[in-house]
Amino acid sequence: MAVEKMVMLSVVGRLDDMEDILFDILESESLDMVDAMTQLSENSNIYRLEDNVEMVVDLNNLAPFPQDPGIRSRANEAQKLVEYFGIDSIPVHRIDPSSDQTQRFEALIERVEPLRKEYEDINRKLEEAENFKRNVELFKNVDVDLNKIRDLEYFSARFGRLEKSSRIRLKESYENLLALVFHTGSFEDEEVYMILYPNEVADEIDRVLKSLHWIDIPILEHAEGTAKDTLAHLEENEKRLHRRMAVMEDEREKIYTEDREKVKDILAHALFMGRVEEAKQKMARSNKYFLVTGWTDEDGVEEIRKRTEKYPELTVTVQGEEAAEKGITPPTKLSNPSFFKPFELLVRMYGIPHYNEIDPTIFVGITYMLLFGAMFGDVGQGLIFVLMGWLVAKKWQPDMGGLLMRMGAASTVFGFLYGSVFGNEELIPALWMRPFENISQVLVIAIGFGIVLLLLAYGMNFLNAIKNKDVAGGLFGEHGLFGFLVFIMLLLMILDVAGVVTILPMWVAAAILIASMLLMIFKKPIIAKLTDTELHYEGGKSGYFIESSFSMIELLISTLSGIVSFIRVGAFAINHVGLFMAFHVMAEMATHSVGNILILVLGNVLIIGLEGLIVFIQGLRLEYYELFSRYYSGNGREFRSDKLRLTKGKQK
């Protein structure tokens, strides 16, 4: 439940060593670079120099790096060659100043670029031919020379599609159209037409067709005789292009096989220099030195110090967040135990925590597992989720797989508590209760559990207010102290009216509730008085109080709905059993044992797929709208370390 402490790290080094130093910094993947000139204008102490007078004098003339479009251009061309050769990895190594890599790169481009461009051109032509062929196939029963239609002098033709619902409207327009309309076929849920009309009425025809949401199908542009003749011509052209492409692929493979390591080495240099050029956009330079600055954590500081200590005249300066944050807000780097790492996926879907905000990942992990398990408690179906999660983690997405495994584990635990195995409640005893046999108790427990979670959410909001020294929000915010009193008094009044328990007399609870709401309405004048600042109402005084009064009504409604909202946890626990019972009754109605088993299996598949998805969404809704809305903003910027990232190529 922690956000890593960030520090601002600045490196000053000699321009002669810049490529090597950048190589070490980028390879460490420890620094989230920021614009050095912007940071310098906000915080002039981002680097400290003690004894080197020459460096101090020289750094007084810091300026942005000039951009070299030639390097950028070579990097872009290199990336295209990476994709052309299908390279999935490129060896990363330091620059050899003695080798003329630029000349070697130009020689490679001269040899390969014509092939690559022709290969791209053929791919484009094949794609266009395929699209055109699909269009022509819609009119293959039109036995008319399309060339003659295209070359008509006084008439025009349009081919297109209409939704079936527009067909009747088109028929109703026939008597008003000076045109020949041919219905040539159907395509999915649309009708296909050819329309022939005099040029003089082109504007009128266009107006009518637009009103019918007509979609033009261009087929006359590359027509060769009839539609069938055109299709035959297209297929022959495709064969020719495929033959040429096969020759080119052999040539490409020959070049790459003969000089594999040389090609990779040349491309690695061009891509690395392009990466350096990207980094320069955030750096500054003087006559002899450069400055790179960014955010990192304590481990990152040690890693960069260790990698750069070998360079002469290099200075590493570290500023704590208190001094550095005068310039920009530090990014957020989450640090959670491995068990809770997958739940960062849910947190990120809502937003990254602000740097000075509590990381809710562990809280989300615990509460989401309880919510999902309670709503979807079943030993067998839970184990299926665990298995699915394991497969997803191995084959595709580790975080999503880990999340499914933990959801499945929670479902399995609650399955033992409910005594349910694939919906069957006769195989094992319930360690706690059977929801369908204790409906009232389950619903009351669900609401009680929700109230506990809401209390914890208010508590976390208080902690965030204290951490950010936000007195106004902590006291007068909708979920601050007075908002919390509204929640508590409303809860006590409900318990009193329901005859459950009387903790405070009704009039006392009502008085505290009204007083809290009045304090929240008058928060602006109160804060202005306490802080001795000028009072200013945006939109006017009356507008402010009207809006504040209505916001209190909204607060009451949202507080009530928040309390009741958790009843869905118990409702889904009951529904889970009821849904299986429906399939069980259907299975008993089957006349054959095979049908009986098939219905039960199909029922479990639907429950796991459909109800599992619904419960997943409902759990997220409770986390986001009932809990996050009370304590979490999620408006932070995630820490993203600058890396070498030399390739984006396809796997090969």
* DSSP states along 537-570: -TT-HHHHHHHHHHHHHHHHHHHHHHHHHTHHHH
The token pair at 15 is 């321009």
The token pair at 609 is 């797929």
CB atoms within 10 A of CB 300: 24
Q: Which residue has the tokens 């190589």?
A: 23
CB of 6 closer than 8 Å to CB of 620: no
Give the start-to-end residue ranges of the domains of the chain. 3-65+283-331, 144-225, 334-426+441-630
Q: Compute the Cα dihedral for 591, 592, 595, 599 and give only its sign.
A: positive
User: Tell me, what's the pLDDT at 414?
Assistant: 94
Annotate 451-506 with DSSP letters as a single string.
Answer: HHHHHHHHHHHHHHHHHTT-HHHHHHSTTSHHHHHHHHHHHHHHHHHTTS--SS-H
Tell how strand 284-285 and strand 215-216 pair up.
Answer: unpaired
The token pair at 244 is 């040429």
**Helices assigned H by DSSP within 259-284:** 260-280
CATH class of the 144-225 domain in this structure: alpha beta
Please calculate the CA angle 58-62-63 and round it to the nearest 5 degrees. Answer: 145
CB atoms within 10 A of CB 103: 10
Mean pLDDT by 10 residues, the chain (652 residues): 84 90 90 87 70 75 87 86 82 66 84 86 88 82 83 87 82 79 81 88 87 85 83 88 89 83 84 87 90 91 92 87 64 91 93 90 95 93 93 91 94 93 85 89 93 94 89 87 92 88 89 92 85 78 85 89 90 82 75 77 84 91 92 90 63 32
CA distance 21 to 12: 10
Helix, strand or coil, per DSSP, at residue 185? strand
CA distance 196 to 167: 17
Annotate 97-156 with DSSP letters as a single string.
Answer: TTS-HHHHHHHHHHHHHHHHHHHHHHHHHHHHHHHHHHHHHTTTT--S-HHHHHT-SSEE
CB of 472 closer than 8 Å to CB of 527: yes
CA distance 309 to 293: 17
Partner residues linked to 399 by β-bridges: none
Ramachandran quadrant class, 554 (left: phi over 0; alpha: psi -120 to 50; beta: rest): alpha
Model confidence, pTM: 0.77
The token pair at 52 is 């080197």
Can you count the helices (H) and strands (E) in the chain? Answer: 26, 12
**Looking only at Cα atoms, what is the longest distance across the chain?**
96
Ramachandran quadrant class, 382 (left: phi over 0; alpha: psi -120 to 50; beta: rest): alpha
Tell how strand 190-198 and strand 215-216 pair up.
Answer: unpaired
CA distance 318 to 588: 73
User: Tell me, what's the pLDDT at 96?
Assistant: 64
CA distance 174 to 546: 59
Nearest residue to 184 (alpha-carbon basis) of 233, 135, 151, 234: 135
CA distance 55 to 286: 9
Name the amino acid, one letter, at 537: Y
The token pair at 214 is 């007509």
DSSP 8-state symbol, 625: I
CA distance 181 to 171: 9
CB of 71 closer than 8 Å to CB of 357: no
CB of 10 closer than 8 Å to CB of 316: yes
User: Tell me, what's the pLDDT at 229?
Assistant: 86
CB atoms within 10 A of CB 324: 25
CA distance 223 to 367: 64
CA distance 407 to 385: 7
Q: What are phi and psi of 481, to 5 degrees?
A: -60, -45
CA distance 359 to 89: 35
CA distance 460 to 367: 14
Helix, strand or coil, per DSSP, at residue 63? strand
CA distance 295 to 177: 69
Note whether 3-65+283-331 and 144-225 share their fold: yes
Tell me the HSE value of 43 on the side-chain side, using a 13 A CA sphere: 25
CA distance 378 to 389: 16
Tell how strand 63-64 and strand 284-285 pair up.
Answer: antiparallel
Partner residues linked to 158 by β-bridges: 195
CB of 456 closer than 8 Å to CB of 363: yes
CATH class of the 3-65+283-331 domain in this structure: alpha beta
The token pair at 461 is 């909001």
CA distance 598 to 509: 58
User: Tell me, what's the pLDDT at 650?
Assistant: 35
The token pair at 402 is 């880990």
CB of 623 closer than 8 Å to CB of 366: no
